[in-house]
C-alpha cells in the first residue's frame, strides 16, 4: 500500500474548513485530522494553502466533430489543460448520429478517450434520433454503461428533437432514475431570424448574437419545465445565459413541482455582447458561441443566481476552435464554428471572482465547481468531496498569488484566450489524482495519461 500525507492545509470538506493534515492510502482518502503523526511514503507540506476536492467540469467537448473537422482540443490536450486548471474529472458528450444507435455513439467516444486522458472522465449521452430502439437502449446505457444523463437539443438540425420526443426521453429517464440535460434554444426562432438576415444580406459575425435572442432560451426552458412537471423527470439546463431563463428556473425551483438544476459558464458571467461590436470581425469571431454572450443586465442577474444558489453548477462548455477554424466563417456567421475555450481557466477565474471579489464561502464555492455536479451526475461520494473513502482527488491552492491569463502560457490547444489579460487572484499549486501527484509546483509531473472512465459512483470497499 502506498501512502501520501499532506500537512498544514486548510481542508475544504463538505460542511467545514479543517486546519490540519490529510492521509491518502493508495487511491483513497483515509484520514483527516488537525494533526496526524504517521509515517508515509510521500509527505507534502501544503504551507497553509487551501485543499479543495478535485473539481469537476460537467460540460466539455473534446474532439467535437463539425462540418470543418473537429474542435481543436483532443482528449489528450484538453484533459492535460484541465489538470493544470484544477479539474480532475470532465464530463464530455457522446453524440448519437441520426440513423445510428446509442451504443455506436458511446463506443466512438470511448475510442477517442481511452488511454488518452490525463484526468478522469465520464460521458453524457446525446439522443438525437428518438425511436423505440433508442428508448430501449437507454436502459442498457444506464444500467450497464454508467450513463446517467441524457442530453437533448431543441435546436441544430442534426441534433434537435421534437417536443414530443423530448417528452418520451424524459419519461424513460424518469423510469431509469437519471437526469435529462437540455440545450435550451428554440430552433424556429433562430431559423426565422437567420432567414430574415439572409434576405437582407446581413452575414457579418455580429449577427450571430442577434439570431440567438434570449427569447429563444426563454421559450425552450418554458417548454422543458412544462414537460418536466408532466413527466416528473429531473431537468438540468446547460449553459444558462439569460435573465429570462434564470427567472423561469427560479420560479420552477420555488414551486417544488419539478426537480430542476441550472448550469452557467464563466463566459456568461464575465463577458458580454459588447464584444460583438468590435470593428475587426476576426476579434468578434473569437466569441461566437451558442447561446451567445448577453447584456450586462443578464450578467448581473446570473451573478445573483450564482450567489443565491439558484444556479447549481459552473461548467465551461469548453469547445475550442483555432482562429483559422473560426475564419472559415468570416463572410457568413452561419459558418463560424460555435464555441470557446475555458477548461483550464474555470476554477481559478471563478475562485477569484466568487470568493475573492464576491466573498462566497469556500464550502459554497467547492459545491458549485465540484460537489454539486458530482451529486447530480452520480459521481458522489466517490468524487466531489474530501471524505474518508472518497477518491483522493485533491487541489492544493494558493489563494494569494496574483497573475494574468495569457494565451502564451495556457495549455489548451488553441491560439487565443477569451479571458486574455484578466487579472486573477489564486493559483493551483498541486493536483493529486486518485492518490497520484500529477501537478506539483504548477508543473506537470509526468506525461503519463492516467485518467480513467468513472463508472461506479459508490465508494468501493
CA distances from 412 to 74, 415, 443 (A): 10, 8, 15
CB 358 within 8 A of CB 302: no
What is the chain's mean pLDDT, rounded? 97
CA distances from 372 to 3, 132, 309, 363, 451 (A): 28, 32, 11, 11, 21
pLDDT for 458 beyond 50: no
What's residue 456's pLDDT?
67
Q: Over the range 258-270, which residues count as b (16 or more CB within 10 Å of their CB) and which as e?
A: bbbbbbbbbbbbb
> CA torsion angle for 344, 348, 350, 351 (degrees, to 10)?
160
Q: Are strands 55-57 and 87-95 parallel, antiparallel or unpaired?
A: parallel
pLDDT for 343 beyond 80: yes
* 158 grid coordinates: 442534426
At 160-206, the pLDDT tens digits run 999 999 999 999 999 999 999 999 999 999 999 999 999 999 999 99
Superfamily of domain 54-376: Metal-dependent hydrolases (3.20.20.140)
Cα 127 off chain centre by: 19
Cα radius of gyration (the chain): 21
Query: pTM of the full predicted structure?
Result: 0.97
* 350 grid coordinates: 471563478
Query: pLDDT band at 447, cuts 50/70/90?
Result: very high
What span, in angstroms and rounded, lies between the C-alpha atoms of 85 and 308? 25
pLDDT for 384 beyond 70: yes
List phi, psi (to 5°) of 139.
Answer: -60, -45
* 49 grid coordinates: 494553502
Query: pLDDT band at 455, cuts 50/70/90?
Result: confident
Cα 93 off chain centre by: 11
The order of strands in the sheet holding 149-153 is 55-57, 87-95, 120-126, 149-153, 179-183, 235-237, 260-264, 313-314
CB 438 within 8 A of CB 431: yes
At 65-121, the pLDDT tens digits run 999 999 999 999 999 999 999 999 999 999 999 999 999 999 999 999 999 999 999
Q: Give percent of the chain above pLDDT 90.
A: 98
At 273-298, the pLDDT tens digits run 999 999 999 999 999 999 999 999 99
List phi, psi (to 5°) of 395.
Answer: -120, 125
Q: Can you give the three-state secondary structure of 320-362, one letter per residue? A: CCCHHHHHHHCCCHHHCCCCECCCCCHHHHHHHHHHHHCCCCH
Query: pLDDT band at 461, cuts 50/70/90?
Result: very low
pLDDT for 252 beyond 60: yes
Query: pLDDT band at 1, cuts 50/70/90?
Result: confident
Q: Are strands 260-264 and 235-237 parallel, antiparallel or unpaired?
A: parallel
What is the mean pLDDT of the segment spanning 224-246? 98
pLDDT for 460 beyond 80: no
pLDDT for 211 beyond 50: yes
Q: Give percent of the chain above pLDDT 70.
A: 99
Listed residue (155, 143, 212) closest to 182, CA to CA:
155
What span, in angstroms and rounded, lies between the C-alpha atoms of 228 and 248? 13
The packing angle between helices 214-231 and 163-176, to 10°, is 50
What's residue 35's pLDDT?
96
* 83 grid coordinates: 489538470
What span, in angstroms and rounded, lies between the C-alpha atoms of 456 and 14? 21
List phi, psi (to 5°) of 453.
Answer: -75, 125
pLDDT for 459 beyond 50: no
- Classify residue 453 by its DSSP letter: B
At 126-148, the pLDDT tens digits run 999 999 999 999 999 999 999 99
What residues does each domain of the chain span?
54-376
What's residue 457's pLDDT?
54
Amino acid at each position: 500500500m502506498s501512502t501520501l500525507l499532506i500537512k498544514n492545509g486548510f481542508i475544504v470538506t463538505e460542511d467545514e474548513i479543517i486546519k490540519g493534515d490529510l492521509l491518502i492510502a493508495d487511491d483513497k482518502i483515509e484520514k483527516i485530522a488537525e494533526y496526524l503523526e504517521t509515517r508515509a511514503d510521500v509527505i507534502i507540506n501544503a504551507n497553509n494553502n487551501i485543499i479543495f476536492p478535485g473539481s469537476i467540469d460537467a460540460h466539455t467537448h473534446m474532439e467535437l466533430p463539425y462540418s470543418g473537422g473537429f474542435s481543436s482540443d483532443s482528449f489528450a490536450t484538453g484533459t492535460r489543460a484541465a489538470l493544470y486548471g484544477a479539474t480532475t474529472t470532465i464530463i464530455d458528450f457522446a453524440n448519437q448520429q441520426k440513423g445510428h444507435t446509442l451504443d455506436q455513439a458511446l463506443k466512438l467516444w470511448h475510442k477517442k478517450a481511452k488511454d488518452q486522458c490525463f484526468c478522469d472522465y465520464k460521458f453524457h449521452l446525446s439522443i438525437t434520433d428518438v425511436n423505440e430502439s433508442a428508448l430501449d437502449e437507454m436502459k442498457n446505457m444506464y444500467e450497464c454503461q454508467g450513463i446517467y444523463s441524457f442530453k437533448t437539443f431543441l435546436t441544430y438540425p442534426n441534433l434537435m428533437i421534437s417536443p414530443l420526443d423530448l417528452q418520451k426521453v424524459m419519461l424513460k429517464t424518469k423510469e431509469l432514475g437519471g437526469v435529462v440535460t437540455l440545450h435550451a434554444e428554440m430552433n424556429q426562432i433562430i431559423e426565422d431570424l437567420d432567414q430574415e438576415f439572409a434576405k437582407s444580406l446581413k452575414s457579418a459575425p455580429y449577427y450571430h448574437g442577434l439570431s440567438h435572442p434570449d427569447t429563444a432560451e426563454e421559450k425552450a426552458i418554458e417548454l422543458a419545465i412544462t414537460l418536466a412537471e408532466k413527466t416528473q423527470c429531473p431537468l438540468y439546463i446547460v449553459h444558462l445565459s439569460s435573465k429570462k431563463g434564470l427567472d423561469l428556473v427560479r420560479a420552477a425551483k420555488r414551486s417544488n413541482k419539478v426537480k430542476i438544476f441550472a448550469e452557467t459558464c464563466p463566459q456568461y458571467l464575465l463577458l458580454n455582447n459588447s464584444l460583438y461590436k468590435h470593428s475587426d470581425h476576426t476579434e468578434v469571431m473569437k466569441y461566437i458561441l451558442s447561446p451567445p454572450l448577453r447584456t450586462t443586465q443578464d450578467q448581473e442577474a446570473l451573478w445573483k443566481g450564482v450567489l443565491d444558489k439558484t444556479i447549481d453548477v459552473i461548467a465551461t462548455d469548453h469547445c475550442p476552435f483555432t482562429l483559422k477554424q473560426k475564419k472559415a466563417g468570416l463572410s457568413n456567421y452561419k459558418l463560424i464554428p460555435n464555441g470557446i475555450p475555458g477548461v483550464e481557466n474555470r476554477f481559478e477565474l471563478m475562485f477569484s471572482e466568487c470568493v475573492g471579489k464576491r466573498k462566497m464561502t469556500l464550502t459554497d464555492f467547492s459545491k458549485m465547481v465540484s460537489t454539486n455536479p458530482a451529486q447530480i451526475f452520480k459521481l458522489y461520494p466517490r468524487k466531489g468531496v474530501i471524505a474518508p473513502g472518497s477518491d483522493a482527488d485533491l487541489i492544493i491552492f494558493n489563494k494569494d498569488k496574483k497573475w494574468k491569463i495569457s494565451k502564451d502560457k495556457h495549455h489548451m490547444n488553441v491560439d487565443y484566450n477569451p479571458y486574455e489579460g484578466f487579472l486573477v487572484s489564486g493559483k493551483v499549486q498541486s493536483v493529486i489524482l486518485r492518490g497520484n501527484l500529477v501537478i506539483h509546483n504548477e508543473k506537470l509531473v509526468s506525461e503519463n495519461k492516467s485518467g480513467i472512465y468513472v463508472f461506479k459512483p459508490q465508494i468501493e470497499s
